[in-house]
Amino acid sequence: MMNEKYNLKIIDKQDISEAVSIVRSSFNPKYLYASIYRGHGIVSHIQNELENSFSPYYYMGLYENNILVGFVEYKLFKEDNLSFLNMIAIRNDYKSLGIGTILFEKTRNFFADKGFGFIGLDVFASNTTALNWYSKLGFKIENTTPFSKVTIKESNNSIDFEILNYPQFKVVNKFYGFYFIELQYGNHKESVRYIDSDLIIRGSKNKELETIIIHLKKIVPIKNVYFIGDNCPFSSFELKDKILRMKLKL
Tell me the C-alpha distance between 169 and 199, whole Å.
13
Across 23-30, average pLDDT: 96
Report the phi/psi class of residue 4: left, alpha or beta, with left for phi > 0 and alpha for psi in -120 to 50: alpha
Dihedral sign for Cα 166, 192, 76, 121, please.
negative
18 and 153 in contact (C-beta within 8 Å)?
A: no
pLDDT at 2: 62
- What does residue 140 show for φ and ψ, rounded to 5 degrees? -120, 145
Query: What Cα–Cα distance (Å) separates residue 185 from each residue in 182, 227, 231?
Result: 10, 19, 21
Tell me the C-alpha distance between 168 and 33, whole Å.
23
Q: Where are the domains of the chain?
A: 2-145, 152-233
Share of the chain above pLDDT 70, in %: 99
Please determine, for residue 3, whether its predicted confidence score (pLDDT) is greater than 90: no
pLDDT at 154: 86
Pairing status of strand 82-90 against strand 118-124: parallel
Task: Tell me the per-residue pLDDT of 152-174, one tens digit each, with 9 for 90 and over.
Answer: 988 888 899 999 999 999 999 99
- Is 122 buried (19+), middle (13-18) or exposed (0-12) by CB count in 10 A? middle
In this structure, which topology does domain 2-145 adopt according to CATH? Aminopeptidase (3.40.630)
Task: Tell me the per-residue pLDDT of 175-196, one tens digit each, with 9 for 90 and over.
Answer: 999 999 999 998 899 999 999 9
Across 69-77, average pLDDT: 98
Quick one: DSSP state of residue 213? H
